[in-house]
A and B are shown apart, each in its own frame.
Chain A
Amino acid sequence: MREVAIVAFAQTVHTGHDTGLTEAEMLHPVIDEVQRATGLTRFGFTCSGSCDYLAGAPFSFVSALDALGAWPPISESHVEMDAAFALYEAWVRLQHGDIDSALVYGFGKSSMSDLREIMTLQLDPYYLAPLGLDQVSYAALQAAALGGDRADHRGALDEIVRRSRADGRANPHALDLPDPSGTDDEVAPLRPYDIAPITDGAAAVVLAAGDLARELAATPAYIRGIAHRIEPHYLGMRDLARSPSAADAARAAGVGKGPVDVAELHVQFSHEELILREALELPEDTVINPSGGPLAANPVMATGLIRIGEAARRILDGGARRAVAHASSGPCLQHNLVTVLESALESVPESAPETQEGADRG
């Protein structure tokens, strides 16, 4: 596959409340930032991710286009998914070989609505949604399936939240949340602090291929592998304590082919970190979510892209040589995307890139 790298990443200072900005107003500064960082104002392809249901109105991505200055008209597409999947689409488009750059962005204002109830509307409308199971409740089912009667389960979750919030306090883009406290359940076995906070925010990434990547960044974050997999929707058909789709995606992306300095995981509930860590077979010494992760800032529809951006940032600034990013969609980690990023130092010969979607199947 063609060498494609992340050369720029920007995100808003995320907030836990509505600041009065429209989505286009929230997005514009991060677009501006990656354009200034790269010196590019036109891109070969543009792709975004957002969700109409957060705003409760159709076509949220249409007004977002007004933030780009998309004139003359641009080659552009949109996924009604986390923007991490928009990045995947842009990476595929760059494989065609006729363009060298792509802009990817995502945004979401979950402060505008009741996210728990909206997520119920994602379930099978005939058999599951009428049950009224909200997002926290089905996450709690998964946490129970994982933890069950394990005595150390609560301690493990508390430590994940404590670490994530502490890292988030050190991250100027994340929310300022206190150490976890209290023993009341939200939906047993999950406590309120196990749940990613309501957050408004946006993020943008620039992808570049070939020589352009080396021109735009001193240490581009090369995408060595990227793959995603979905699994059955019905919770009863799945072993909720495991994530085979994340494991498959990780294998296809080649996570295990080298050390992992940093992993940014799309953990919207603390127990998901345990499931993902196992599914991705991350080494013990891998630093997980040094940004604080979604437990410290969760601008829905941008959160997954931010994981890729944060992982890339560690490589762009020289702090890591090999990083993994994970993004998710659907109830209880139904759909998972895994990206492996490397600095040029770890580069395999360009003629034989290490991993690609479908490579294992010949």
Chain B
Amino acid sequence: MANRCAVIGVGQTRYTTKRRDVSIAGLVREAAIRALDDAGLTFADIDAVVVGKAPDLFEGIMMPEVYLADALGAAGKPLTRVHTAGSVGGSTALVGASLIQGGVHDRVLVVAFEKQSESNATWALSTHLPFGASLVVGAGGYFAPHIREYMRRSGAPDHVGALVAVKDRRNALKNPYAHLKIPGIDRAMVESTPMLWEPIRYLETCPSSDGACAMVLSSEKAVTGTPAWIHGTAMRSEPLMRAGRDTVSPQAGKDCAADVYRQAGISDPRRDIDVAEVYVPFSWYEPMWLENLGFAPENEGWKLTEAGCTALDGDIPWNASGGVLSSNPIGASGLIRFAEAALQVRGMAGEHQVEGAVTALGHAYGGGAQFFAMWIVGSRKP
């Protein structure tokens, strides 16, 4: 079976609306060097580099990885560019881990980024003729009907979304890298903000961020420092246009979770996982993914949110870092989830550390809720 693999270094930039002080190369290099520093290594110790980002139209550079090879110390090495829509950050970690699990390399640098200030992501995501008339504007316009359907099915009260928005932003106050810092945020403040895409209000949506995240992954024999061991990895994809596909709780998400839980020996995720970093770009996706990932029975995810179970002091904290709702450099957002999961089980999450976290889930999704990437990391060697 696959070789053991561990996260031995994590590096993040601070996330913000516009990083005017660095180029794209400077941005990714900042994250990469922080990850190398964390691992006590340099670029010379790296065998291969994997770069992930969301659509190239976001920055207006076609296949930017060839330009970034120099800044990431990749010259003379293999470099891979991953793109799997919004899940790409997660997929980037998995492609990097695969190189070690497959016995090809001992140390791999994975980096994901977005510099959203270079263009307008909402319009880059709105396709046009001849590819199909776009009925929506941006990702929020696409996902709002799915959220309304979730509310209809589950009978969830209208305020649950606002609770997630408040909880994640309060967590963000404890994360030095988080983009949105809104002291004093409460439900009334969220509910007073404009409705963007019914039922998603302004403060229930993710920001547009510049930022990069990097990790150093290692084989067992090359581990330095404090490892977060990978206990399971999985990707699943399903077609966008399949009739009868459940866009509220996609089968690909369920299958991906089942696969990664099986590898990690998890039978009851709410009990067996200590902290989860889950891709929640719009508030309502917390209750929706609580069900899709098996933390709650169908139509009851919102009850966990409402009862405070997913808060930092709840029994299963979700997005202790503040999540995508607080920082969203799109291509990196999935990798940040995977990296924050690793930081938690390494005991290195700082103020938003979940005490005694041993097992953590990293999750990302993308496309029309059709691409999923997940991993389980733990402080104990598998």
Contact = CB atoms under 8 A, between A and B. Distances in A.
Contacts of A97: 1-2
Interface stretch (B80-88, B210-218, B284-292): B80-88
B152 to A, nearest CB: 24
Contacts of A93: 98, 102
Interface residues of A, number: 67
A97 B3 CA distance: 10
B163 to A, nearest CB: 30
Contact of B104 (A85, A129, A357): A357
B63 A80 contact: yes
Interface string A190-215: 00000000000000000000000000
Contacts of B255: 72-73
> What secondary structure prevails in chain B residues at the interface with A?
loop
A74 B65 CA distance: 27
A345 interface: no
Contacts of A68: 239
B66 to A, nearest CB: 4
B241 A66 contact: yes
Contact of B66 (A55, A230, A356): A230
Interface of A: 1, 46, 51-53, 55, 57-59, 61-63, 65-66, 68-81, 85, 88-89, 92-98, 118-119, 121-126, 128-129, 227-234, 237, 245, 248, 329-331, 334-335, 356-358
Closest 3 CB pairs of A and B: A95-B102, A73-B252, A58-B55
Contact of B79 (A78, A331, A335): A335
14 contacts: A53-B56, A58-B127, A59-B367, A62-B370, A63-B131, A66-B241, A70-B238, A72-B251, A73-B255, A78-B84, A85-B81, A96-B1, A233-B69, A329-B63
B300 interface: no
Q: How large is the interface on B (under 10, 10 to 19, 20 to 34, 35 or more residues)?
A: 35 or more
Interface in B44-84: 47, 54-57, 59-70, 74-84
Interface of B: 1-2, 23-25, 47, 54-57, 59-70, 74-85, 91, 94-95, 98-99, 101-106, 124-125, 127-128, 131, 234-242, 245, 250-252, 255-256, 259, 367-368, 370-371
Contacts of A330: 63, 66, 69
A230 B79 contact: yes
Contacts of B65: 80-81
